[in-house]
């Protein structure tokens, strides 16, 4: 009996291994559930406080104005004073054209203006002379009429011959005709000068306009930079014959850049004008952050404005998520500290917490997108040069 009892194997319940394994599995399952719940809670909190408050895209590139420099008058290039990558300032001469033809045209226009002033002065004097002649003819007519009045009563008394009275009548008729002719001559002379002084005479104004045009054309042989910036795409060479409108180079103002962020259409639900944005440029990495804000959403998707827009009304159609460009204005101070270039890749994050703003602008913009003042004084200088010529040819009538 004793041997039989010792040979019987002990059950798992007696050894205690099965309950321990169950406890281990239960503990592992509980830990796994807790981990998943914590991960879900962390993910929910991240979505609630981070991901749901922003929209991000790395399909974003730096944009900016590209100011084309072109000739305004034809000519031969005799000097190029700026090259690619160089900085230029507003008003700086970039290209100079041969000025021989412009100088000849300017001299002709100057002479024509001086001649016009002198001719108007002559016409003014002629009109004054015609007025003096008119006064004399009126006196002649009055004298002839007085003579006739004195002789007519004497004819009844036979104190004078009838022929003498007839001669007096003929003298009155002749004086009247002379007065009429003088009146017409005075009117013709006055028609050229009445209503304006010498400076305001139409002939002088026309000559002044021609001189002004020639003066401006002569100045345009020096092609200047309209704004501050950096030169790119220079194609002009010394000796080139250029025509008006021909592209010579490009000036890029790198202090005034923006970012075109192409968001998916599903990301634009809460994007509004004025929302703050954070921009990171690949050229500097994530260590440099630019501050900006949304200033506008594009009027259409990129495919809508492409040269060959997609034809979606086809049998083999595959839906493609479209993107809409969103313009992000950058802080100029950030650009000064860390300059960017047109076309660089960036990553944009827009804070959409406040989505009460406008999707589209309500009022038209009244601020110039870009402007220059380098041409403002050209007209004034041309007028000053014309005034000097007029004064020099007014003679004693000059103020």
Q: Are residues 291 and 211 in the same domain?
A: no
Q: Are residues 230 and 158 in the same domain?
A: no
Residue 8 has pLDDT above 70, yes or no: no
Q: Are residues 308 and 319 in the same domain?
A: yes
Residues 44 and 246: beta-carbon distance below 8 Å: no
Q: Which domain holds residue 213?
A: 101-218+377-397
pTM: 0.75
Looking at the domain assignment, is residue 344 inside a domain?
Answer: yes
Looking at the domain assignment, is residue 315 inside a domain?
Answer: yes
Q: Are residues 208 and 125 in the same domain?
A: yes
CA 332 to CA 339: how far, in whole Å?
10
Residues sharing a CB contact under 8 Å with residue 380, sequence separation 6 or more, in sequence order: none
Distance between start and end Cα atoms, the chain: 153
- CATH number of the domain within which 90 lies: 2.40.50.100
Tokens of 294: 């949304």
Q: Are residues 133 and 207 in the same domain?
A: yes
Tell me how many domains the chain contains.
3
Q: Are residues 238 and 281 in the same domain?
A: no
How far does Cα 333 stand from its chain's mean position? 25
- CATH number of the domain within which 206 lies: 1.10.287
Q: Which of 207, 237, 252 is the last residue of a domain?
A: 252
Highest mean pLDDT: which range of 116-120, 155-159, 236-240:
236-240
Q: Are residues 290 and 275 in the same domain?
A: yes
Angle between helices 162-191 and 100-156 (to 10 degrees): 160
Q: What is the pLDDT of residues 262-294, one digit of tens each?
A: 999 999 999 999 999 999 999 998 889 999 999
- List residues bridging with 70 in a β-sheet: 247
Q: Are residues 179 and 141 in the same domain?
A: yes
Residues 256 and 65: beta-carbon distance below 8 Å: yes
Residue 221 has pLDDT above 50, yes or no: yes
Q: Are residues 181 and 136 in the same domain?
A: yes
Look at 286 and 58; give whichever has higher pLDDT: 58
Q: Which of 229, 252, 275 is the last residue of a domain?
A: 252
Looking at the domain assignment, is residue 168 inside a domain?
Answer: yes
Q: Are residues 129 and 278 in the same domain?
A: no
Residue 336's pLDDT is 92
Residue 91 has pLDDT above 80, yes or no: yes
- CATH number of the domain within which 307 lies: 2.40.30.170
Residue 172 has pLDDT above 70, yes or no: yes
Q: Are residues 119 and 154 in the same domain?
A: yes
Looking at the domain assignment, is residue 191 inside a domain?
Answer: yes
Q: Are residues 178 and 311 in the same domain?
A: no
Looking at the domain assignment, is residue 1 inside a domain?
Answer: no
Looking at the domain assignment, is residue 292 inside a domain?
Answer: yes
The tally of CA atoms less than 13 A away on the side-chain side of residue 40 is 6
Q: What is the DSSP letter of 11?
A: P
Looking at the domain assignment, is residue 10 inside a domain?
Answer: no
Report the range of poorest mean pLDDT among 51-60, 252-261, 345-354: 51-60
Looking at the domain assignment, is residue 361 inside a domain?
Answer: no
């Amino acid at each position: 009996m004793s041997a039989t009892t010792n040979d019987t194997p002990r059950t798992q319940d007696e050894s205690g291994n099965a309950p321990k394994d169950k406890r281990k599995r239960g503990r592992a399952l509980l830990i796994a559930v807790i981990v998943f719940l914590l991960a879900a809670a962390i993910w929910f909190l991240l979505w609630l406080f981070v991901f749901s408050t922003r929209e991000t895209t790395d399909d974003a590139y730096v944009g900016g104005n590209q100011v084309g420099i072109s000739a305004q008058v034809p000519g031969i290039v005799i000097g190029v004073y700026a090259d690619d990558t160089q900085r230029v300032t507003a008003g700086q001469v970039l290209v100079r054209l041969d000025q021989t033809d412009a100088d000849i045209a300017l001299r002709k226009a100057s002479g024509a203006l001086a001649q016009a002033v002198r001719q108007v002065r002559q016409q003014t004097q002629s009109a004054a002379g015609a007025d003096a002649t008119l006064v004399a003819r009126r006196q002649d007519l009055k004298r002839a009429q007085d003579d006739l009045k004195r002789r007519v009563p004497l004819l009844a008394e036979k104190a004078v011959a009838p022929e003498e009275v007839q001669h007096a009548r003929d003298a009155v008729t002749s004086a009247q005709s002379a007065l009429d002719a003088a009146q017409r001559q005075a009117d013709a002379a006055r028609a050229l000068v009445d209503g304006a002084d010498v400076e305001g005479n139409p002939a002088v104004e026309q000559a002044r306009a021609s001189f002004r045009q020639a003066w401006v054309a002569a100045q345009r042989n020096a092609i200047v930079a309209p704004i501050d910036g950096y030169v790119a795409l220079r194609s002009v060479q010394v000796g080139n014959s250029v025509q008006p409108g021909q592209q010579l180079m490009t000036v890029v103002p790198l202090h005034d850049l923006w970012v075109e962020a192409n968001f998916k259409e599903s990301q634009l639900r809460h994007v509004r004008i004025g929302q703050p944005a954070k921009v990171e440029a690949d050229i500097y990495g994530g260590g440099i952050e630019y501050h900006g804000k949304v200033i506008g959403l594009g009027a259409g998707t990129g495919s809508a404005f492409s040269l060959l827009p997609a034809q979606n009304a086809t049998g083999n159609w595959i839906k493609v998520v479209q993107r809409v460009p969103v313009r992000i204005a950058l802080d100029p101070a950030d650009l000064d500290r860390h300059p960017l270039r047109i076309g660089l890749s960036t990553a944009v994050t827009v804070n959409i917490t406040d989505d009460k703003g406008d999707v589209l602008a309500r009022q038209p913009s009244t601020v110039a997108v870009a402007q220059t003042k380098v041409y403002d004084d050209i007209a004034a200088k041309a007028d000053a040069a014309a005034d000097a010529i007029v004064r020099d040819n007014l003679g004693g009538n000059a103020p």
